[in-house]
Amino acid sequence: MTTTRKVPGGPEVPRVPKVWFCWVAVVLVLSAHVASGQQLPPGPGAEVLKSRCVICHESDIITSQKLSLTGWTNSINKMVRWGSQITPEEREVLQPYLAQHFAPTPVSSHPNTEAGQATFKKVCLACHEADIIEQQRLTPTGWTRSVEKMMRWGAAVSDAEKQPLIDYLASRFGPR
């Protein structure tokens, strides 16, 4: 049975039971948690990652990054500065887990993308250390998302420089 209610100054609209909204919220939260947790390898840091990192980030943003122990430590330090509530004990478990499962793979050769490299040196290295960028190991789609985010945040990359930069990053620092 559906009831209606009168919207002030407007038509009558169907009244949706509050229980329906609760069920939708529960289903969305559970499906997001299950989907994000499925891609994580087992290990002592997996539960910390799920409880502290995946509550804000999609798991693919974490698993696509390929950082050294130093890179992961720096990344976690940044998250703590931004308000993450990771305890020292959780960090001792999480950092080695991330470095073990999401570490960089050595690269043997790279195509020549001089225009993208010039933009990388001029723009990216103005704010970031090279190692944090080099260790990301994103797909071309991931690099596109990252470059567009940096452009929204003020990185001085022109439309003409954008694609060569993405090509350079994806060819040099893509998934391995």
The DSSP secondary structure of 36-61, one letter per residue, reads HHTTSPPSTTHHHIIIIITTTS-HHH
CA dihedral of 32, 28, 86, 57, whole degrees rounded to 10: 50
Confidence of residue 30 (pLDDT cuts 50, 70, 90): very low
State the chain's mean pLDDT as an integer.
80
113 has pLDDT over 50: yes
138 in Cβ contact with 65 (< 8 Å) = yes
Question: pLDDT at position 24, please?
Answer: 47
75 has pLDDT over 50: yes
Class of domain 114-172: mainly alpha
| Range in 4-8, 76-80, 84-88, 100-104 the model is least confident about | 4-8
pTM across the whole model: 0.44
Q: How far is Cα 67 from Cα 87, in angstroms, rounded to an integer?
A: 21
2 has pLDDT over 60: no
Q: What is the pLDDT of residues 146-167, one digit of tens each?
A: 999 999 999 999 988 999 999 9
Give domain 41-101's CATH number out of 3.30.565.10, 1.10.760.10, 3.40.50.300, 3.40.50.2300: 1.10.760.10
27 has pLDDT over 50: no
Most distant CA pair in the chain: distance in Å?
Answer: 68
Confidence of residue 37 (pLDDT cuts 50, 70, 90): very low
Task: Give, as one character, the DSSP assignment of residue 10.
Answer: S
Q: Kindly state the tokens that stand for 115.
A: 């225009």
